[in-house]
Every structure is written in C-alpha cells, then in structure tokens.
Amino acid sequence: MALYLPVLYGTTREGRVSIHVAQYAVQRLARRPGVETRLFDPRDLPLGNLVLRQWERRPPVPAIEEFSAEMSRADGFLIVTPEYNYGMPGALKNMIDHLYKEWNRKPFAFVGAGGLSGGLRAIDQLRQVVSGIGAITVPTHLAVHQVAKAFGPEGPLSAADEFPVKFDRLFDELEWYARALKSPREAVDAAAGRATGQR
C-alpha cells in the first residue's frame, strides 16, 4: 500500500533555522519504500491571513486549489515547526485553518524545534488543534532542542544526537497509523460519495 505523507513546515520567518530540520525530514521520509512526500512551506502558498477558506474563495485561487488537492490525497502528515513564545507560529495555524475536510480522519506526527523547550509547547498546542480538525495525533513526537546547535543545512551536526534513529522511529509510527486508517477512511468517503478528503 503506497502512502503519501506530506511534510508541513511551520514558519515564514527570515533566517529561520528549523527549515534545516524540515528539509532533513522530507529527504529521509522520501527514502522509505512505498512513501511519497513533499515539503509544504507557507512561504510558497499565497494564503495571506485568513479571510476566506479555500472552498469559500471566488474565483478559486489555483495555488490554493492545488494545496487542497494535495492535502486531500494525503494519508497523513508530518509537521515540522519551531516554537514562538510558547506556541506554534501563526503561519502554521493559518495554513491549517484554510482547509478542513482535507485533514479529517488522518494522522499527524510532530517534530518541534526550539531553544531549551525543543518546541514541546508548540506540539502540545498542535495536539489540541488537530482534534479540532477531525484528525488524530501520533502519540510520540520528536523535540529538537537548541536547534541552531543541532542542525545545519546538511542535516544533524553531531552523530551523538542519533537523529536518524529518532526520525525513523517517528516515521514508523506515522506510517503505522496512516496504513491503519487509509482503507476505513476511503470506505467512509466512498459511502458518502466523495473522493477521499473532498467536500
């Protein structure tokens, strides 16, 4: 069973360091057999601060329609996000709020990046948000503490942190939930007469 597991990245900030974590995650996830992935960066999406949700826009905006279609066909998501002032960045919440059905009945796994906290408080908030979009969260998560010292453009800066093993463990779990939910979700969507995740 092939799976599509996009990576959603959390911030548009100039000089963002956590992008190195997101890029590492997407490259490592892409190497797994039977998994397709792609990085979704809020900088590349013409969303603006939420005024109208995707299905309310007239005329539809092609790049947002494509974002919706990609999220619809996804089987689960990895979110990689920094923590700002004890929470998730606004850009990430904005990206989530523009869609709804696309997320339903799908698993979300989290990688946090921060200073001392490793993004744990942003992850805790995301667990609440995900329950509000009809989705579920993978129980474990990965916290990257002191991200500027832990990751560079080429990936982890020290083998001692064992990030390859930690990422693979998280991916194993995300895959498990994605596989477990795929067929039942598609059956419900078929019974409702819609393509998976579509309104």
Q: Is the separation of the CB atoms in 54 and 67 below 8 Å?
A: yes
- What residues have CB less than 8 Å from 82, skipping those under 6 apart? 10, 11, 13, 16, 17, 18, 89, 112, 113, 114, 119, 122, 147
Is position 95 an interface residue for ligand FMN (rule: CB under 6 A)?
Answer: no
Nearest distance, CB of residue 36 and ligand FMN, angstroms: 25
Residue whose CB is less far from ligand FMN, 125 or 198: 125
Please state, in angstroms and rounded to a whole number, the distance separating the CA atoms of residues 94 and 2: 29
Cα–Cα distance measured from residue 62 to residue 37, given in angstroms and rounded to the nearest whole number? 21
Which tokens in the block code for residue 112? 């946090």
On whether the CB atoms of residues 68 and 192 are closer than 8 A, the answer is no
In the complex with ligand FMN, the residue whose CB is nearer, 16 or 182, is 16
Residue 15 or 34: the one with the smaller Cβ distance to ligand FMN is 15
Q: How far is the CB of 29 from ligand FMN (least distance, A)?
A: 19
Which member of 60, 115, 132, 184 binds ligand FMN (CB under 6 A)?
A: 115
CB of 122 to ligand FMN, least distance (A): 8
Distance (Å, whole) CA 51 – CA 10: 19
Per CB under 6 A, the list member of 107, 114, 156, 197 interacting with ligand FMN is 114
**Which range in 27-35, 38-46, 108-116, 179-187 contacts ligand FMN by CB under 6 A?**
108-116
Q: Check binding of 86 to ligand FMN (CB under 6 A).
A: yes
Residues in touch with ligand FMN (CB under 6 A):
11, 13, 16-18, 82-86, 113-117, 147-148
